[in-house]
């Protein structure tokens, strides 16, 4: 079986459309919405194509009308785009986001996966990088072979004695210095990381038309164009 694993789509339909389409199953690790201009279209994509979707902090924020608890540098971007997103999605979309699981497990061809947005002990909010020592102490269970996580927008693979941890990076708002749609592929017992270019300027043009401040627009455009966090 060939599975496409993605996270942090962030309402960026141009990036989503650039992803590989030759997969048997699509697994989505949360954050379908916010920051981008097309939340309803991305939700519909997930509803139409994904076998598994877990809830991210921005999905939770839109579903329940709550604070997504972003870092200070992204707080204004998240809040202005949250207000826009609330007007751009339907109540049925919000119900769908509310009902997404916080984490799930799956067995596929003898491999046991655990999937969540952040980390199993805090599925919505904890920001944990690849080198964190907490991966060594936060054991999800002896039966888990591969732990799939997102949230940081930074792709990585980390092999531990008990399991492999994989973050596919962000589809719609990568922050590792490359403005491409990131993903992972699991096939024949192996996981590989990849990324593909997409029409960033088309997304920027859509953002320019939204009812957001000039400062927030410039910050969002910078992240999209450079694949990194703008300076303060």
Region 123-149 average pLDDT? 90
231 domain residue, yes or no: no
What CATH number has the domain bearing residue 204?
3.60.21.10
Domain assignment of residue 65, yes or no: yes
| Of 188 and 200, the one with more pLDDT | 200
Q: Does 107 reside within a domain?
A: yes
Q: How far apart are CA 229 and CA 219, in angstroms?
A: 8
The two most distant CA atoms of the chain are separated, in Å, by: 51
Range of the domain at 172: 2-226
The reply to whether 70 falls in a domain is: yes
220 inside domain: yes
**Model pTM score:** 0.96
- 232 in a domain, yes or no? no
Rounded Cα distance, 59 and 31, in Å: 5
Q: Give how many domains the chain has, as a whole number.
A: 1
- DSSP-assigned letter for residue 173: S
- Categorize the per-residue pLDDT at 204 as very low, low, confident or very high, splitting at 50, 70 and 90: very high
Please say whether the dihedral angle defined by the alpha carbons of residues 216, 67, 10 and 178, taken in this order, is positive or negative: positive
Q: Which of 81, 84, 9 is nearest to 44 (CA)?
A: 9
Q: Is 198 within a domain?
A: yes
Burial class (CB in 10 A: 0-12, 13-18, 19+), 136: exposed
Q: What is the DSSP letter of 230?
A: P
What pLDDT sits at residue 137?
86
């Amino acid at each position: 079986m060939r599975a496409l694993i993605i996270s942090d789509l962030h309402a960026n339909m141009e990036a989503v459309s650039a992803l590989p389409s030759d997969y048997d199953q699509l697994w989505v690790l949360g954050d379908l919405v916010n920051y981008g201009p097309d939340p309803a279209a991305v939700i519909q994509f997930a509803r139409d194509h994904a076998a598994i979707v877990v809830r991210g902090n921005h999905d939770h924020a839109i579903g329940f009308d709550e604070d997504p608890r972003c870092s200070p540098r992204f707080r204004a971007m998240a809040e202005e785009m949250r207000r826009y997103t609330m007007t751009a999605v339907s109540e049925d979309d919000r119900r769908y986001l509310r009902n997404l699981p916080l984490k799930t497990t799956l067995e596929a061809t003898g491999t046991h996966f655990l999937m969540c947005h952040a980390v199993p002990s805090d599925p919505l909010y904890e920001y944990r990088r690849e080198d964190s020592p907490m991966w060594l102490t936060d054991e999800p269970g002896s039966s888990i072979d591969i732990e799939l996580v997102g949230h940081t927008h930074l792709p990585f693979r980390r092999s531990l004695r008990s399991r492999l941890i994989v973050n596919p990076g962000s589809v719609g708002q990568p922050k590792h210095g490359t403005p491409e749609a990131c993903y992972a592929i699991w096939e024949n017992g192996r996981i590989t990381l990849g990324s593909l270019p997409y029409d960033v300027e088309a997304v920027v043009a859509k953002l320019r038309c939204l009812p957001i401040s000039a400062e927030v627009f410039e910050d969002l455009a910078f992240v999209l164009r450079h694949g990194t966090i703008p300076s303060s």
